[in-house]
Amino acid sequence: LYYSNPQLRNLKMIVAYEGTNYSGFQRQQNGLLTIQGVLEEGISKFSGETVRVIGAGRTDAGVHAQGQVVNFGLKNRLPLDQIQRAVNHFLPRDILVKSITEVDPDFHARRSARSKTYSYRIYNSKIRPLFERNFVYHYQYQLDPKPMETALTLLLVKHDFKSFQAAGSPVKTTIRTIHHCKIISIPPEIKIFINADGFLYHMVRNIVGTLLLVGSDRITLDKFTRIFEGATRTAAGPTAPAQGLCLEEVIY
Amino acid sequence: LYYSNPQLRNLKMIVAYEGTNYSGFQRQQNGLLTIQGVLEEGISKFSGETVRVIGAGRTDAGVHAQGQVVNFGLKNRLPLDQIQRAVNHFLPRDILVKSITEVDPDFHARRSARSKTYSYRIYNSKIRPLFERNFVYHYQYQLDPKPMETALTLLLVKHDFKSFQAAGSPVKTTIRTIHHCKIISIPPEIKIFINADGFLYHMVRNIVGTLLLVGSDRITLDKFTRIFEGATRTAAGPTAPAQGLCLEEVIY
């Protein structure tokens, strides 16, 4: 790893961003605006060094973060609070470094992560949202959060999430463990939290899409269980849109 | 009044908006984007009628509203929920009609108002805000909300707000009555609420600007009282920026 270079400090940053105007976290070749690209540029502008940041989660276009974690190697020896201030100065208003610490050379934002927590906000109202509009999925048909909560709890038991991964995703295993999950319902909002040791591609958004079928009484809890156990993507609900999703925290 | 025309229904709407991209509430001759202009256009698009809306408060550029109230005359006889849906359909995402009711012909959104409540959000942190960035004033120096609260309470006693009106404002009287006020401090935020029978131009923002001097220990409570009693604008603090301000509610 390049940051095992003894000249480099391995720096860990907690980063928050509004994903609305970005083509996702991961840097792309096509010149599209990405969180990773803008972060690397901000760090370079302040330090004069070329850096490559490693992100804990590759959030999609439109997905937000309260607690994305990145790490990168840096020669610069300035105190960490000065680095944080300088990097924030060079970042746009929709990306923010919340904290910065120096970590062991073997710390890797993605591989060292033990679990991650995502949240998904549903705005359940006939009237569209205003101030929350970029951070919620506006769902007009009335939802009952009770069966949604029961369905969510069922995911704590079984561990194969094949029915909730995006079709055709190339992964070795579809076994994941959800450690914690909860639903907080403060009308008109329903907010879902899922903490797991790992997430398949579109897993949270596919779970939410299927929970919406349960909450609007279009499938039963039995059917939900069968979809889950059947482990086939086609039976599950549609993928909920990106803008309701937020990477809340990464735990090491 | 044109809406005393018996052919017209006098409709009252509660409207919320994010003021960031607007040159204030009031329609202007210069073609600038205003809340009033966009509202009138939205209503016209749906109804085919030319309307002129009356707003309870003429919020400045960048000021937001959770509960602005407007009224206007309309020939259209559709049910109110359909009118609301149609108007919302024609409004941009940063303006929202929250409710609509039919009122007496003599109801006038501004003149009939008994009191209004404004809030002002201060984001008191060395690190800049992210998700709140368009809705708060970022104030970096540490504030103590206690003396700010005491100072605010002093405003309940005296009634001449001349020191807190914008210089050179042409009004008959500078006497206003603050009925209620409070400060809610949930770090890093301090949120100030002021309910009064009326507000002078820039009154809330000038009060907040002076409260910031108290909270950062740059003037004493005694000095604050003297500024207030002296009733001269020059002694007070600077006008706090527009983006922290929000028209919360209009009471009739």
Kindly state the tokens that stand for B169.
């404002």
Q: Which of B18, B22, B131, B133 to mutate to test the interface with A (most CBs of A within 10 A)?
A: B131
Phi-psi region of A16 (alpha: psi -120 to 50; beta: other; left: phi over 0): beta
Q: What is the pLDDT of residue B232?
A: 65
Write out the catalytic residue numbers of B: 60
φ/ψ of A137, rounded to 5, equals: -100, 120
Distance from the Cα of A96 to chain B's closest Cα (Å) equals 6
| Nearest-by-CA chain B residue for A17 | B130
Contacts of B68 in chain A (CB under 8 A): none
In DSSP notation, A225-236 reads HHHHHHT-GGGS
Identify the contact set of chain A against chain B, taking CB-CB distances under 8 A: 16-18, 84, 88, 93-96, 98, 127-128, 130-131, 133, 135
In DSSP notation, B207-239 reads HHHHHHHHHTTSS-HHHHHHHHHHT-GGGSPPP
Q: What is the pLDDT of residue B4?
A: 62
C-alpha–C-alpha distance, residues A62 and A208, integer Å: 16
A60 is catalytic: yes
How distant, in Å, are the alpha carbons of A159, B199, B241 from that of B117?
52, 10, 18
Sequential pLDDT tens for chain A (252 residues)? 555 677 899 999 999 999 999 999 999 988 899 999 999 999 999 999 999 999 999 999 999 999 999 999 999 999 999 999 999 999 999 999 999 999 999 999 999 999 999 999 999 999 999 999 999 999 999 999 999 999 999 998 768 888 888 877 778 888 899 999 999 999 999 999 999 999 999 999 999 999 999 999 999 999 998 888 876 667 778 999 999 999 999 999
Global pTM reads 0.91
Kindly state the tokens that stand for B222.
């005694």
Contacts of A80 in chain B (CB under 8 A): none
Residues of chain B with pLDDT under 50: none
Any idea which residue has 């049910």 for tokens?
A: B79
Predicted complex: ipTM over 0.90:
no
C-alpha dihedral (B65, B71, B76, B80), degrees to nearest 10: 60
